Structure formats: C-alpha cells, structure tokens
Structure 1
C-alpha cells in the first residue's frame, strides 16, 4: 500500500514515528513562535508580526516539511490526517497509535521550546499561542469552523498526495498554502488550529484547555468527511467505456 507523497505504509514504526515527531515539532515551533512574537509585540525584521505572517509561517513550514519528510512517513503531522486516512483504508490502523503519540509529543516539545526561548512571558501572557475561542465565540462555533477548514485542508492533501496525475512538485506548495488559507479563515474565530496536535501541545504546556474538545473532534470530523468524499466520489475511477466493453475488460 502506498501512502502520501509516495511513502510506504509498511515501514519500520520507530523510523516513521521519529519523522512525524520531528516534522510536527518543526511545524508547531515555526507557527507558534511567530504567533507568540506577535502577541508579545516583539519586532520581526523591523516590525511586529501580524496575522498574515503567522499563517505564512505555518504554511511555508508545511511546504518544506512535505518535501523533506513526505517520502519517509507521509508527512501527516496532524492526527486528523492520520485518522482520516485510516478510516478510509488508505493507512493501516496499526500505525495510528505511534503516529498520534509522535505528533502530540512533537507539539508538546515545540511548546516547551517556545517557553524556553521566549521566557515566562510566552506562557503567562501569550499562552504559548494556544488556540482559544475568540471573544464572544462559542465552543460550538469553534467546532464547526475547525471542521470546515480541516475538511478543506484534507481534501487538498488526499487529492494532490495520492493521485499520480498530480505533479509531485506541486503537492507541497498546494498543501502548505492551503494550510495558510485555513489559518487565516479560522483565525479570528478559533485561532485556526486545523490540527489537534497543534492545538493540544500549547494547551498542555500552558495549562489552557478552553474548548479543547472542539479542537480535537472538529478537525477529525472534517478530515474524515473529506477523505471519504474523495475516496468514494472524486478519486480516479475506471473508464465507463472500458467497464461496459467485455472485450476490453477481458484484455
């Protein structure tokens, strides 16, 4: 069975787990570092980071990581992606626990690194960029928006990372910039986690768990729906003409 970005789903578990841990660590570190800098009003190249910089930090980091680790572990870097692929039979369930633990571990280590490098202000004032509901935003709204944007992200992932008709060089850019768009869309409402590990890592280290269930269940639901939709209705199918021609089928 072939995984995302041409990776194999029959590899050594410790090997792919290490790739997922490192990849998730770097993804969460990149995005939350920029977010913490913005929250603490720290200058970046002459000016404080803004919402676009945060979204681009996550997106560009994902572009790099997909190209660097995609062939190793599939560069899921997101529990919602792993569960969605397993739910559609595109990824073995036996690998799921190792992937989830590695992804969560990478996110927690990234948050600890941000705390270490930015100091106590990063945790006490910026909550390590934990994704929390915006002012006046209900937890249900967070659940819905996280499900919607993760649906969008995973639909792009399974489209470009599993279909041989898509140019390999386009996959990383498509996935990375989709994540950036998702963060921008959901940011004002939920903080734009689009990833249970990215949400839980800072929450665990900062001790902030407001609406945590929505940041886990929303992305997982959206991801599974996207993967099922693509597998059932949008993936490459058999040419109807060939299916109806017995001679062609026999050949």
Structure 2
C-alpha cells in the first residue's frame, strides 16, 4: 500500500488522477460524468414509470446506473478521479486523499451536472415524466420512516464508497478491476435499497430530480445520509483495512 497522499496540489487521486491539477477542467469532467450517470439511470427509471405496459423493470434501471458508472470510471477516472458523488469526494477529503480546496468545485459540479441531467430527462419524457414519475426523484416507500430510510441510504453508501476507495486508491488492486468493481457495487447497492428508499446512494443523484421536479420533501435525508455513510467508509478503510496484509507462511 502506498503511503497516504497529502492535501497538496500534486496529491494522487482516484484511479491515478492528480487532484488539484487543472481544477476547472477536472470540475468539468465531474459535471459531464454526473450528467451522464444521472441521465442514464434517471431516464430509464422515468421510462419504467411512465410506459404502459412497462418497457423497463428494476433490473433495467439497476443495469443503467451500474453500466453507466463502469463506462464513466474507465473513461474519466484518470482525468478527475470520476467521483461523481459528493459522498466520495468528502470521504476522500476527510482521509486526506483529496485536497479540501478542491471539494467545493467538485461538489458544485456534481450537483449542477445532476440538475442538467434531470432537465434533459424532462425534455425527453415531457410532462408525463414529471407528473407521474417525478423525474425519478428518490423517496422513501410508503410506511418507511425517515430514520429507517436514513439508515438504509447511509448503509448502501458505506458499501459503495468502501469499494470505490479500495479499488481506486490501493496500489495492490489491479487497475483494470476498478471500473467493473465500482459499477457492480453501485448496482448491488441499488438492488438492496430500491424497494425501501429508491436507492439514491448519491446526494447529487437525489438532488437533480428533486430540484427540477419540485419534490423536496425528503431531500435532506438523501443529502445527509450518503455523506455520513461515505465518510465512515473512507475512515474505516483508511484506518483499519488499508494497513492490513493477509497472513503468509512466513508469519508462522
């Protein structure tokens, strides 16, 4: 395991990117990447909720998000680190693997990208996408309390960020494994949470549809819970798992 990176402008970020170099260009990559991710999953989710008979089901939605993230990590990972998620960005900053001065640029870019994606989804699906599917706004299922929804979103984001930080910052992990691992982790997390919370796993993914549709009822939950889970995952990996080594015969 390489030594923990610092907070300077030349700190190595996710997937070998350089955190802080050409910050505006990196921010642009985060905006575009988040736009594609939220558009891919959100548009499929709206299609699932507005066609009769349904064209898509939960599997299609999960695959849209997971495959989009897989492709984006491969395409943009070396450019910006392909965070595409404020929970990832803040988790990395807390563990000193990303400079704090770059956090506002990344988070704003991610939120703007999500809003633009939701506007594009509205344009594709016109009024019915907003009226029936709320542009894929994530909301707790009927009967699910805010506390339970908070726990679920924090839990699944913990899983996602743990995988992201493991495969993208640890030199022992083959670089080629990262895109598939991260995309698969997102898919699994959405499978787990979709019946309960809709499976946002990402404050930006929740923010865009909620703002554009005007449905802000549970937005606070989807902004806060993933950050709690993501920061906890980053700390657990950095302090507990990263220094670990599997036992070898020489240890006898």
TM-score normalised according to structure 1 size: 0.92
> C-alpha separation between the residues in 2 aligned to 1:198 and 1:182?
14
> C-alpha separation between the residues in 1 aligned to 2:20 and 2:225?
29
> C-alpha separation between the residues in 1 aligned to 2:80 and 2:68?
16
Offset at residue 97 of structure 1 (A): 0.4
Offset at residue 216 of structure 1 (A): 1.0
Residue 245 of structure 1 aligns with which residue?
none
Residue 173 of structure 2 aligns with which residue?
166
Q: CA RMSD in A?
A: 1.5
**8 Å contact 1:42–1:49 — kept in the other structure?**
no
Pairing 1:109–2:110 present: no
Residue 11 of structure 1 aligns with which residue?
21
Offset at residue 236 of structure 1 (A): 3.5
User: After the TM superposition, which segments of 4 or more aligned residues of structure 1 sit over 6 Å from their partners?
Assistant: none
> C-alpha separation between the residues in 1 aligned to 2:132 and 2:88?
31
Report matched runs for 1:109-188 at 5 Å. 109-188=116-195
Give CA-to-partner distance per residue, 1:57-109, whole Å, 9 cap, x none: 00000000000000000000001100111011110000000001100000000
The structure with the largest alpha-carbon Rg is: 1
Report matched runs for 1:236-247 at 5 Å. 236=243
> C-alpha separation between the residues in 2 aligned to 1:35 and 1:168?
31
Pair 1:3–1:116, CA change in 2 (3 A)? same
Q: Which runs of 5+ in 1 are unaligned?
A: 240-251
**8 Å contact 1:9–1:92 — kept in the other structure?**
yes
Q: Aligned pair count?
A: 237
TM-score normalised according to structure 2 size: 0.91
> C-alpha separation between the residues in 1 aligned to 2:152 and 2:217?
16
